[in-house]
């Protein structure tokens, strides 16, 4: 029996996982990852890195990050505390939904995980203070392969729900996308 409800999004391969929670008099239990249950999504890839972030203030934007092949990665992103507006952008070369984005609100209470396949940029905005995020990655971080798109890129038109209070200098200074950006081949 799977511990996840899988819901497709309008972007091919980008799905929302809802973690089933078990409650009793002792408290709660929920599975964050299971290679058997998630094999239809990630195939034979393995989780090789787990990261955690804590963002102190409401309105902060982190992203839109991705890694070029051969370091492209699948990510499973969950919010363990607080509430975030989590965004994935399809940057796969030749995809019919190229440069389209999809967002989900992830909270500690709704137990949703965004499953982000290779060829997507990812970022989020905190809707509350003190947001804690947990990321499972199928590839280790590679500084040489890392890149991103500005979270305010006009060609994306991401509808951030709050005014952007802060973003890193690196993310804010990303060059605008030009017509030469053909995406990534995965």
Q: For residue range 100-157, what is the model confidence (pLDDT) as tens digits?
A: 999 999 999 999 999 999 999 999 999 999 999 999 999 999 999 999 999 999 999 9
> What is the band of 1 on the pLDDT scale with cuts at 50, 70, 90?
low
As a whole number, the mean pLDDT across the chain is: 96
57 is catalytic: no
Instruction: Please identify which of the residues 33, 65, 85, 102 carries the catalytic annotation.
Output: 65
pTM of the model: 0.95
Task: Give me the domains of the chain, ranges plus CATH numbers.
Answer: 4-172 (2.60.120.10)
Asked if pLDDT for residue 62 goes beyond 80, the answer is yes
Alpha carbons 55 and 137: distance in angstroms, whole number: 19
Cα 3 to chain centroid, rounded: 20
Residue 65 annotated in active site: yes
Mean pLDDT within 161-176:
94
Peptide linkage before 64 cis (omega within 30 of 0): yes
Taking a C-beta distance cutoff of 8 angstroms, is the pair 122, 65 a contact? yes
Q: What is the pLDDT of residue 179?
A: 87
Q: Which residue in 33, 85, 135, 137 is the catalytic one? A: 135
Tokens for 171?
């993310």
pLDDT digits (tens, 9 = 90+) for 79-88: 999 999 999 9
């Amino acid at each position: 029996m799977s511990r996840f409800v899988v819901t497709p999004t309008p972007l091919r391969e980008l799905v929302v996982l809802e973690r089933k929670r078990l409650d009793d008099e002792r408290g709660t239990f929920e599975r964050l990852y299971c290679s058997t249950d998630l094999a239809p999504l990630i195939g034979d890839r393995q989780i090789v890195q787990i990261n955690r972030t804590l963002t102190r203030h409401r309105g902060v934007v982190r992203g839109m990050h991705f890694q070029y092949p051969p370091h492209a990665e699948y990510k499973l992103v969950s919010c363990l505390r607080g509430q975030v507006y989590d965004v994935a952008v399809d940057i796969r070369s030749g995809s019919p939904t190229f440069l389209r984005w999809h967002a989900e609100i992830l909270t500690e209470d709704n137990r949703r995980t965004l499953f982000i396949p290779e060829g997507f940029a990812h970022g989020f905005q905190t809707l509350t203070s003190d947001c804690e995020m947990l990321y499972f990655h199928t590839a280790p971080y590679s500084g040489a392969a890392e890149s991103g798109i500005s979270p305010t890129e006009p060609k994306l038109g991401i509808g951030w729900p709050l005014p952007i209070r802060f973003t890193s200098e690196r993310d804010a200074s990303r060059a605008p996308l030009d017509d030469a950006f053909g995406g990534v081949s995965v």
